[in-house]
Amino acid sequence: MTLNDLLSSVLPANRQFEFLSLQTIPIETHTVVTPDRYDKKVAKRTIKTQHFFSLFHQEKVFFSLEVYVYITLWGEMDADRLVFVSKADTNGYCDTKISIRDVTKALLKFILSIDPNYYLQRVKPIERPYKKMNIKMITPAGTPAESLRTLAGRLKQFGSTKLNGSASSFHQKDFYHSFTCSRKILTKICLFTRPASQYLFPDSSKNTKKHILNGEELLKWWGSILDSLLVDYFQNGTQAKLRIPGEDPARVKLYLRGMQYPLWQVGDIFTPNEKSLAVYSIPLFPDDPKARFIHQLAEEDRLLKVSSSTFWIELQERQEFKLSVTVSVMGVSGYTLATPSLVPSSADVIVPRSKKQFKAIKKYITGEEYDTEEGAIEAFLNIRDFLVLRLAKNFQVLTGKKEYRARSQLAPTSKVNSMTVTMLKPRKKSKTQAQPAINRTYAK
């Protein structure tokens, strides 16, 4: 099932939408959880890929979701997959009735359906193997004559003076690695909920149509999505855990009463027991407060002294948490009912040629100001023009198929316009920091 099909099934019938699906080139990275040197099972490699989705309606962006996928290779065909939901947000500039919950679930279903080997076909290594290939580097300390001799040597060896030229044998054969693993793979989903007025859409909280969830509402909203995925797409016996730092376990269980999946428990999927050292059980994700606290413990020389239970207690006392709001960690760990086998096509994802280009496209959304509708329109126009002029591509267009019943006075689900799952501070910036608009001179 394509991404177009999944989104069409949850968007309102006969309404036209566009979507942007970006993905970075997979790259080798550090292990998600710091390994204990005494562990017998040690990860050989960890591959990280970033996805960024945006939805548009009537030439306005209104929803974005950021997800990281980690493939950890343990041995011969043995691997696991971790889906980290980083950020999600809407800005309130969509005038039609939409269930953002269903849209988010559809996007996660798309991620879960991808064959893990798709991420392993073309992997960028952590370090370029210059020494192995006997490549001399140009340094600021070198003389002009030495630099010219180095460039001449590259031209003779690779047919190019550049080490990242697409025509060079270095780039094609040696720069990227490839691996394989079993498609029957242990899958984990992890997210961190903390309410905020905006993350991906700066100043969107100034839009009075944007509905902002408080901590408990956000926890329940994401809980309902994971619970639905557990029931529909995961095998029996899958772990499902909820942790609210500093909260009494009996109170945490109150949030689990309404769950359909029967095996929800208090805790998190990474902590083997509360006495284990936090450094060997807490995952390190991008822009993550847990990771920042781990780094602080390292600076204080306390990494080998703080247990997991102490870690969660002290985490609650950090400045980021002292706002009397409900925050939580949710996790799922198990096997999906269907073996992930989808290989995304160019219609499903756009893979920019570099991380720099990925960030540039993403910034056309995250670099706008959404205090007025103009920001949502500018983001659409800038990305459309970038895709056409720079990549010779365009938005994927779809038509919704879901029939919505008349609005109930009690059902506010379609009004959810703000879902944030990290604890970053809202980005403050001036218009001068936004990505510059593209000159639109071609005929539409």
Q: Would you mind telling me the total number of residues written for the chain in this entry?
A: 444
The arithmetic mean of pLDDT across residues 207-228, rounded, is 95
pLDDT, tens digit, 9 for 90 and up, residues 387-442 = 999 999 999 999 999 998 765 444 444 444 444 444 333 333 434 344 544 544 44
Is-contact 192 423, C-beta < 8 A?
yes
| pLDDT bracket for residue 316 (50, 70, 90) | confident
Q: Mean pLDDT in the chain?
A: 86
- The set of catalytic residues is 288
The arithmetic mean of pLDDT across residues 345-369, rounded, is 96
Specify the pLDDT at position 75.
Answer: 87
Specify the pLDDT at position 322.
Answer: 63
Residue 142 clears pLDDT 70, i.e. is over it: no
Q: What Å distances lie between residue 181 and 49, 73, 337, CA to CA?
A: 16, 7, 18
The arithmetic mean of pLDDT across residues 372-377, rounded, is 97
- Cα-Cα-Cα-Cα dihedral sign, residues 341, 346, 349, 350: positive
Kindly give, in sequence order, each residue whose CB lies less than 8 Å from that of residue 383, ignoring residues fewer than 6 positions away.
Answer: 20, 54, 61, 361, 364, 365, 395
Is-contact 375 368, C-beta < 8 A?
yes
Residue 182 clears pLDDT 60, i.e. is over it: yes
Alpha-carbon gap, residue 125 to 177, rounded angstroms: 7
Residue 150 clears pLDDT 80, i.e. is over it: no
The share of the chain scoring above pLDDT 90, in percent, equals: 67
Q: What is the 3-state secondary structure (H, E, C) of the chain?
A: CCHHHHHHCCCECCCEEEEEEEECCCEEECCCECCCCCCCCCCCEEEEEEEEEEEECCCCEEEEEEEEEEEEECCCCCEEEEEEEEEEEECCCCCCCCCHHHHHHHHHHHHHHECHHHHHCCEECCCCCCCCCCCCCCCCCCCHHHHHHHHHHHHHHHCCCCCCCCCCHHHHHHCCECCCCCCCCEEEEEEEECCCCCCCCCCHHHCCCCCCCCHHHHHHHHHHHHHHHHHHHECCCCEEEEECCCCCHHHHHHCCCCCCCCCEEECCCCCCCCCCEHHHCCECCCCCHHHHHHHHHHHCCCCCCCEHHHHHHHHHCCHHHCCCCCCEEEEEEECECCCCCECCCCCCCECCCCHHHHHHHHHHHHCCCCCCHHHHHHHHHHHHHHHHHHHCCCCEEEECCECCCCCCCCCCHHHCCCCCCCCCCCCCCCHHHCCCCCCCCCCC
Residue 87 clears pLDDT 60, i.e. is over it: yes
The C-alpha R_g of the chain, in whole angstroms, comes to 23
Alpha-carbon gap, residue 214 to 192, rounded angstroms: 14
Provide the terminal-to-terminal Cα distance of the chain, rounded to the nearest Å: 32
Of the listed ranges 149-153, 162-166, 246-250, 377-381, the least confidently predicted one is 162-166
Residue 319 clears pLDDT 80, i.e. is over it: no
Alpha-carbon gap, residue 392 to 317, rounded angstroms: 50
pLDDT, tens digit, 9 for 90 and up, residues 257-302 = 999 999 999 999 998 888 889 999 999 999 888 888 999 999 999 9
In terms of average pLDDT, the best of 115-119, 243-247, 281-285, 406-410 is: 115-119
Cross-strand bridge partners of residue 16: 399
Buried b / exposed e over 19-47, threshold 16 CB at 10 Å, is: bbbbbbbbbbbeebbbeeeeeeeebebbb
**Neighbouring C-beta atoms of residue 199, cutoff 10 Å:** 26
Alpha-carbon gap, residue 321 to 329, rounded angstroms: 13
